[in-house]
Amino acid sequence: KNEVEQSPQNLTAQEGEFITINCSYSVGISALHWLQQHPGGGIVSLFMLSSGKKKHGRLIATINIQEKHSSLHITASHPRDSAVYICAVREAGNQFYFGTGTSLTVIP
Amino acid sequence: DAGITQSPRHKVTETGTPVTLRCHQTENHRYMYWYRQDPGHGLRLIHYSYGVKDTDKGEVSDGYSVSRSKTEDFLLTLESATSSQTSVYFCAISEQGEAFFGQGTRLTVV
């Protein structure tokens, strides 16, 4: 049983396209994180959300607590956005559950 | 960037040998975690700590032990490494919901 489900697993886009990655979770949470991992690289936290919407540059993250769903949007995608994006939720006991990630490739 | 470092970054070891990975933080965060990352799986929790000398097991703790004698250091030990422990290991720290990850340690057991 996976507490966190992401879709799609793999995504290929042309440079400039608008991209959406979805995350659904089944546990009660105190926060949701979107993480980015470049090939062979470390993991970087992009956003922490507990409600509503956050924007950072070309990245936008939204969360609907009632529906237990979050989306990560990338506007005007660029090849440097190619990475694995991971959804993680933090439940009240300070445990994190992770999705298996979405591998994004942006083609010039 | 949060001050969290893992060492070593890469290690090749032989089956049956003991291995210790170190996670060091300069943020004074209370919670520290060790995860392993394998293809087809999300990050899986090995052990975690909620304070000095306070640790608990995660979902894949068999074959691993940990110690936290100081706030800043969280050590992961493989008592007798096996090929199934070949993986990338990530340390994370957390405080007030924020999470920060180390750069990872790629461990190969041959």
Is residue A1 over pLDDT 70?
no
Query: Using 50, 70 and 90 to split pLDDT, how confident is the model at B109?
Result: very high
Helices (H) and strands (E) in chain A, counts: 0, 11
Nearest to A96 among B50, B99, B102 (CB): B99
Calpha distance A51→B100 (Å, rounded): 20
Over the stretch A54-76, which tens digit does the pLDDT of each residue have?
999 999 999 999 999 999 999 99
| CB < 8 Å to B99, chain A | 33, 45, 48, 88, 90, 96
List, for residues B28-84, the tens digit of each pLDDT value.
Answer: 999 999 999 998 888 999 999 999 999 999 999 999 999 999 999 999 999 999 999
Q: How many CB atoms lie within 10 A of CB A84?
A: 17
- Contacts of B96 by beta carbon, 8 Å cutoff, 6+ apart: none
Q: What 3-state DSSP class applies to B58?
A: coil
The residue-averaged pLDDT of B18-33 equals 96
Burial class (CB in 10 A: 0-12, 13-18, 19+), A73: middle
Split at pLDDT 50, 70, 90, the class of A40 is confident
For residue B13, what is the enclosing H or E element? strand B10-13
